[in-house]
Amino acid sequence: MSDYPTPPFPSQPQSVPGSQRKMDPYPDCGEQSYTGNNRLAGKIALITGADSGIGRAVAIAYAREGADVAIAYLNEHDDAQETARWVKAAGRQCLLLPGDLAQKQHCHDIVDKTVAQFGRIDILVNNAAFQMAHESLDDIDDDEWVKTFDTNITAIFRICQRALPSMPKGGSIINTSSVNSDDPSPSLLAYAATKGAIANFTAGLAQLLGKQGIRVNSVAPGPIWTPLIPATMPDEAVRNFGSGYPMGRPGQPVEVAPIYVLLGSDEASYISGSRYAVTGGKPIL
């Protein structure tokens, strides 16, 4: 078992959406450690927010498990190119799809371009998210509230709706929720509300799609060390990130990736409508 970093961490303010290349300590996305076992051989995956953090870890794991990967991201081109390099190093194809998921047309475009390149989508991972920390309701701008919902939950609806005709029986949709769906942080009010919506949307969609043979699940990470943290949270929160959880540290993206592999694989053929916690010991009941 790896000896992962524990807080306190250095001060490292960043602008939104954040860059993985600037983080200290550098997040572990499995670049040197994840070993594949051919569990996703021949599958096609579309992953949003895959330039860095959890999305990068999932992309690397999927490629090493035998899947070709389409990577949707906002505008972090350097980080996205680094993810693509690891996917290609695993011998798999990689498609880069930059743009803003808060825009309806872009949600449609990433699906259409993935299908044009690969012919179908076997695994859809809706992982992209936006958050900002605020200590007062009055500090939340109306446009920011709308952007948070458009990026975090409305985009998932739009992408799923567009992708379904190109998903064969046995396909898998995996949505990234959060421990905030169960235990909302008051300083992340808009973000937490969207994560609760994702958990609910996932549970309902699983029931709608069961007879089509398409599974839908969500993953609820706890504090994971990704660029979103230094880019959107106060310095003191970043310094002590994850210290209040039972394991006393934040999780690394590579520690979240295995559940996405399981849920995307045929091994999970009867798993649908569920939410899986990756929270370093904090229960979701």
Question: Cα 237 to the chain's mean position, in Å?
Answer: 21
Interatomic CA distance for residues 6 and 242, integer angstroms: 8
DSSP state of 202: H
26 counts as catalytic: no
Q: For tokens 């990433």, what's the residue?
A: 110
| Amino acid identity for residue 214 in this structure | I
Catalytic residue among 191, 245, 270, 276: 191
Interatomic CA distance for residues 157 and 148, integer angstroms: 14
Beta-strand ranges (E) seen in 40-177 are 44-48, 68-73, 94-98, 123-126, 172-176
Instruction: Please check whether residue 147 is in contact with residue 130, taking contact to mean a CB–CB distance below 8 angstroms.
Output: yes
Instruction: Please check whether residue 68 is in contact with residue 44, taking contact to mean a CB–CB distance below 8 angstroms.
Output: yes
Interatomic CA distance for residues 282 and 149, integer angstroms: 26
Catalytic positions, please?
A: 191
